[in-house]
Amino acid sequence: METKILRINNETEYCTQLSEASEIILAGGTVVFPTETVYGLGGNALLADAAKKIYTAKGRPSDNPLIIHVADPKDAEKYAYVSDIYYRLAEAFMPGPLTVIMPKRDCIPLSVTGGLDTVAVRCPSHPVARALIKKCGVPIAAPSANISGRPSPTSAKYVEEDMLGRVDMIIDGGECEIGLESTIVKVDGERLTLLRPGAITYDALCCVCENVEIAPAVTDKLAENERPLSPGMKYRHYAPQADFILLDGDESDILSFMMEEQKNGCAVLCYDEELPFLNASLSVPIGKRNDLPAQAKRLFTSLREADKLGARKIYAHLPPLDGLGLALYNRMIRAAAHTVKKI
79-117 tens-digit pLDDT: 999 999 999 999 999 999 999 999 999 999 999 999 999
Q: Are residues 211 and 308 in the same domain?
A: no
CATH number at residue 247: 3.40.50.11030
Last residue of a domain, one of 201, 218, 235: 218
pLDDT tens digits, one per residue of 231-277: 655 555 677 889 999 999 999 999 999 999 999 999 999 999 999 99
- Please check whether residue 174 lies inside any domain of the structure: yes
Choose the final residue of a domain: 183, 203, 218. Answer: 218
CA distance 321 to 21: 40
Predicted pLDDT at 42: 98
From first CA to last CA, the distance across the chain in angstroms is 48
Print the domain residue range for 199: 4-218
**175, 202, 218: which is the final residue of a domain?**
218
Whether this prediction's pTM lies above 0.85 is answered by yes
Res 232: pLDDT = 55
